[in-house]
């Protein structure tokens, strides 16, 4: 992994942290967090790599002001009481190209659970400004109720308004330090 080794900071101007939930059992609602930071250190031995990140929960955006206010409130993220969610990697199982899985601890609303991201790395490139960048995507799925996000409204069909399953996707561009 010698061409990937080093410490990288996620570039928020060229990265996104987004989520998808099923709404009313018939469609998907997408959202993203706009205020976050993360650092990844890729070691020569991939298993010795590390990563951590923080998301400010008040930065959630779903393209609907009323929904955003609801998601920031007590029914979902309770951003006043829990202003941040964090991820700390505990193991890397990636190949020399940076593809594989990264497992770690995700903390939301003071509840910490292990999760595993499927990671695809697109390589390293120098941008026109002299920055060395690594590009990657990471995906996982969590059950929101395991983190104390339990809001629900039943539908006449017997289904629920918001799915328990939440897809999380990171589209990352990180700059080598």
C-alpha 68/C-alpha 3 separation (Å) is 41
What residues contact 52, with CB distance under 8 A and at least 6 apart?
38, 39, 86, 87, 88, 89
C-alpha 88/C-alpha 107 separation (Å) is 9
In a domain, 120, yes or no: yes
Domain carrying residue 21 = 6-176
Confidence bin at 157 (pLDDT 50/70/90): low
Q: Residues of the chain with pLDDT > 70: what percent?
A: 90
Tens of pLDDT along 8-52? Answer: 999 999 999 999 987 656 678 899 999 999 999 999 998 999 999
Q: What is the pLDDT of residue 27?
A: 75
- Domain of 137, CATH number, reads 2.40.128.110
C-alpha 107/C-alpha 147 separation (Å) is 8
């Amino acid at each position: 992994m010698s061409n990937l080794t080093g410490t990288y900071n996620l570039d928020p101007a060229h990265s996104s942290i987004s989520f998808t939930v099923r709404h009313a059992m018939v469609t998907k609602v997408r959202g993203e967090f706009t205020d976050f930071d993360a650092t990844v250190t890729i070691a020569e031995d991939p298993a010795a790599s590390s990563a951590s990140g923080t998301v400010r929960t008040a930065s959630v955006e779903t393209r609907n002001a009323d929904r955003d206010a609801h998601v920031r409130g007590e029914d979902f993220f309770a951003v006043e009481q829990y202003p941040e969610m964090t991820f700390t990697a505990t193991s890397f199982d990636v190949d020399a190209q940076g593809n594989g899985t990264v497992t770690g601890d995700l903390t939301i609303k003071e509840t910490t659970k292990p999760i595993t991201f499927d990671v695809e790395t697109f390589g390293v490139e120098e941008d026109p400004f002299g920055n060395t960048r690594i590009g990657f995507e990471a995906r996982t799925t969590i059950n929101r109720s395991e983190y104390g996000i339990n809001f629900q409204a039943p539908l006449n069909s017997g289904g629920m308004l918001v799915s328990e399953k939440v897809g999380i996707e990171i589209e990352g561009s990180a700059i080598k330090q």
